[in-house]
Structure 1
């Protein structure tokens, strides 16, 4: 019996009775998305009865899984207004049956057992179960899940080592994004600093691994102009607080990169390899002469002047781009050259406009500095591509970053605000807010719509989350007691002992207190649990909710 909140026992009994009376399919999520009772192609039954009947027969096939259903439903939504596209879809279904419009990997499901329950039609994954608590918005138990629209607002997850950030939140989300990509609805990039946290067979189409470079990685991310390529590459190479006069040195580094990239791209109609770009940055005369010889036609004079400007910079007492050159030299290693100058297939970040699944395995033990540069390149390129007007808004694009504090700069922090309108989002996991550079902490915290925090975090972080979760009104009852003493007299007016009387009273008032205090967050959130607040792309917010991620 709950003495503080007896009404919860009645709610639990009702829910237990309902649970026995109602059985949900294993791939459905009972809360908060309702069960879908009709087929996803009901909308075309009147206009395309033959196609709808064909899909009904297909749905009854033994090999028709939830990925197939979601893939065909998504294709229908994309082509519903175009009769010619519907006709092509009908021919594809007639020819390939359940494998119609299959993902380029030919996968129709992930190998092995799933980590979480998924509703691919609704785009939702179950994370755990709501724990009843008077401080939460939900005071009943039930499944707790998130969907792709929630992830559009981006998510910040803070928890100490071993708290369950990866297993409880990141892994189910990555699994769902991988399934959504097979359904044609999403693309994703996962930054894996430990190289093993997300190394699941069949989850990814591309693995960027400097120690085993089966696929290359474009250093310039598909940038179409030299100025954009120079800005992104300089931001990734130079960490925050690279010098006392940060703005001057970073601007000089961007100008130095542009002075090398623009002439080379005009001369060769491609971007330079790592050794070629390093030779130009160091203003080696042989490298400059080779580029100048190929520069002809209008504009060649200005481009040659850029190379001369870079050479003049190196001859100063202090080269303002010296830090950039030295850090770029960290990439001039045999293993990294095989990745960045790969002769075979190469992944470019603009490929995210199709449903591709990418894992970036960082060899921090072997190449710590180069791994951080590579991760910063991946993150900045993702924000650059997905926030541009050329991105495909029809599919959701996600970037999941473990140990995110080391790889996020001010450009990325500002870019988070632009992703929502382009159907993209970030999932940032970190042990503490202190891992983020101090100049971006407030921006990152304010720009991410969803928050998840685990117990045992730093008191400063707990204070930030406590204030974010807000206050609530509580009733405070104050009881006042007072005692009075005096002298008792007999009938003759003589003292006859002492008397004592007692009075009492009480007052009731409503006061505001923190919904979740700093102490509640640090010590009151059990292992395997997290406090989660969510936001939707339309601005609606829910939370905080205490969730049992192990339920």
Structure 2
């Protein structure tokens, strides 16, 4: 019996370690206890005074879990660098528990937390495992995620009202917000409804066209005109076109480049919305203004690009006309105040520091422009985080609600590059069909983690059923037979008929779907989800039935 119990606990610890939740068998002593392991134990010998000061702050309850995780991150990042640790010591001497606090000056999030977090380990609890014979682990315990799991990206599929936002997205966003306060993470959240993630104190920057307190760079992170043209075109143009329309897509990208490259060479900055729109429309005054400022050896080539764009507009059909009209959707007073903001402006390269960004989409007021803005944010995020110049010491997360409308082929292929650069996506949508047909397989295959709720479309359920795989079960067959005969009494007379029965058993191992289509659609209770996880090193677990309301 003891051996059985040990196997049970070993399986539980294995699942906990992979799912990113603490080992419940290791109970931590109360705060301030001398026997409690501290994040600064590694520097007790080399920096005894700093360790002693931190012990005193911990004993005085002046260190919350955010403070402890922030200090631990600084110590771990320093690699025993004397200068870095000296800076920490000076900050502790001056600011005590607020040493090296986040630029927002926050040491915690306001209000009651939605989920349980282990910030030292970078973990957030989502719910409780429900024992089920179809799972690899028939144990009860906490179930959660950590930043390494999120590096593989997460796809969440569930019908309206199933609990995608409350059960999965909000705990993850809350955790990334806390992790940013510790210096470990940065995040961008796309909020199509403008209210799902609008929590005070969770974000440093809010991109809101209806209330533009901070601007958003239309070309954020782009250092060259060709990269800026490709990214802007991917946001403006429809995600899927037939082969006969590919010519117009290429012509549109060339038109953007022909306008951006000369302007950047002339002014050493990117154009505003009206300035770029004037060049795209080949307005004479806009063209002449740029040409007059072009100097040097490359000016002839740049002027030729502008002439090429003017020649396009003089054709019977301008191949970039669709792009120009879609870009004109951004030439509205409210959107110009956001994209050409005179004050502080967020650029996507700012994610290389612990910043928290929410993009509020005014779809009711500007439906088309909102979709363009969202797709621009997503493509810029993938561009920056997949770059070789990104800071890999900080996790960068992008949470996208209603993701099917904002993910194109560039983004789908870019998911595969994020893992090695310590970044990941959380994609939430109602059905896989929301994604363009040509990217569905790429999105599904590129995301290492999957979560599915009950009541989904049968086609989606079939995809997940095949993804979760098969398992072997023992199928037992009972064979019964009866034999009849004549029964005689003791005098040899016929006394009646007799009947005997024989039974036989046979067992065989057969392969069946672990979760059938019907199981997924009708067998996953409300408030529950089937979740499979993957780590950046390739380790996998699942599917596991999780009670998100536990």
Q: Note the alpha carbon deviations across 1:289-318, whole angstroms, 9 max, x for none.
A: 111111111110000000111111111122
Other-structure match for 1:296 = 295
Structure 1 residues 54 and 497 mapped into 2: Cα distance closer, same or farther (>3 Å)? closer
Structure 1 residues 388 and 404 mapped into 2: Cα distance closer, same or farther (>3 Å)? same
TM-score using structure 2 length: 0.92
Counterparts in 2 of 1:100-499, with a 5 A limit?
A: 100-242=99-241, 245-483=244-482
Q: Note the alpha carbon deviations across 1:367-404, whole angstroms, 9 max, x for none.
A: 11100000000000000000001111111100000000
Structure 1 residues 323 and 243 mapped into 2: Cα distance closer, same or farther (>3 Å)? farther
C-alpha separation between the residues in 2 aligned to 1:281 and 1:75? 48
CA drift at 1:245: 2.4
Q: State which drifts further: 89-98 or 53-62.
A: 53-62
C-alpha separation between the residues in 2 aligned to 1:503 and 1:76? 75
CA drift at 1:464: 0.7
Other-structure match for 2:77 = 78
CA drift at 1:494: 12
CA drift at 1:496: 10
Name the SS of the counterpart of 1:313 in structure 2.
helix
Q: Note the alpha carbon deviations across 1:154-179, whole angstroms, 9 max, x for none.
A: 00000000000000000000000000
CA drift at 1:241: 2.4
Structure 1 residues 169 and 536 mapped into 2: Cα distance closer, same or farther (>3 Å)? same
Q: Note the alpha carbon deviations across 1:326-375, whole angstroms, 9 max, x for none.
A: 11111111111111011111000000001000000001111111000000
C-alpha separation between the residues in 2 aligned to 1:295 and 1:465? 57
C-alpha separation between the residues in 2 aligned to 1:258 and 1:35? 60
Structure 1 residues 375 and 32 mapped into 2: Cα distance closer, same or farther (>3 Å)? farther
C-alpha separation between the residues in 1 aligned to 2:209 and 2:242? 29
CA drift at 1:282: 1.1
On the 8 A contact 2:431/2:457 being kept in 1, the answer is: yes
Q: Note the alpha carbon deviations across 1:459-479, whole angstroms, 9 max, x for none.
A: 111111111111111110011
On the 8 A contact 2:21/2:145 being kept in 1, the answer is: no
On the 8 A contact 1:32/1:145 being kept in 2, the answer is: no
C-alpha separation between the residues in 2 aligned to 1:516 and 1:29? 25
Other-structure match for 2:13 = none
Structure 1 residues 290 and 550 mapped into 2: Cα distance closer, same or farther (>3 Å)? same
- RMSD between superposed Cα atoms in Å: 2.3
Counterparts in 2 of 1:80-99, with a 5 A limit?
A: 80-99=79-98
Name the SS of the counterpart of 1:331 in structure 2.
coil
Structure 1 residues 232 and 272 mapped into 2: Cα distance closer, same or farther (>3 Å)? same
On the 8 A contact 2:382/2:414 being kept in 1, the answer is: yes
Give 5+ residue unaligned stretches, structure 1.
Answer: 1-6, 16-27
On the 8 A contact 2:483/2:499 being kept in 1, the answer is: yes
Other-structure match for 2:513 = 514
On the 8 A contact 1:137/1:543 being kept in 2, the answer is: yes
C-alpha separation between the residues in 1 aligned to 2:498 and 2:320? 91
CA drift at 1:53: 1.1
Other-structure match for 1:22 = none
Other-structure match for 1:18 = none
Q: State which drifts further: 168-177 or 128-137.
A: 128-137
On the 8 A contact 2:287/2:306 being kept in 1, the answer is: yes
CA drift at 1:500: 5.4
C-alpha separation between the residues in 1 aligned to 2:117 and 2:367? 36
Give 5+ residue unaligned stretches, structure 2.
Answer: 10-19, 29-35
CA drift at 1:135: 0.9
Name the SS of the counterpart of 1:527 in structure 2.
coil
CA drift at 1:197: 0.1
Other-structure match for 1:49 = 48
On the 8 A contact 1:128/1:143 being kept in 2, the answer is: yes
C-alpha separation between the residues in 1 aligned to 2:60 and 2:101? 16
TM-score using structure 1 length: 0.92
C-alpha separation between the residues in 1 aligned to 2:255 and 2:26? 57
C-alpha separation between the residues in 1 aligned to 2:212 and 2:549? 36
On the 8 A contact 1:29/1:35 being kept in 2, the answer is: no
Name the SS of the counterpart of 2:511 in structure 1.
strand
C-alpha separation between the residues in 1 aligned to 2:356 and 2:503? 70
Structure 1 residues 32 and 447 mapped into 2: Cα distance closer, same or farther (>3 Å)? farther
Other-structure match for 2:544 = 545
Q: State which drifts further: 158-167 or 285-294.
A: 285-294
Other-structure match for 2:12 = none
On the 8 A contact 1:159/1:431 being kept in 2, the answer is: yes
Other-structure match for 2:32 = none
Other-structure match for 2:16 = none
Give aligned pairs, total: 529
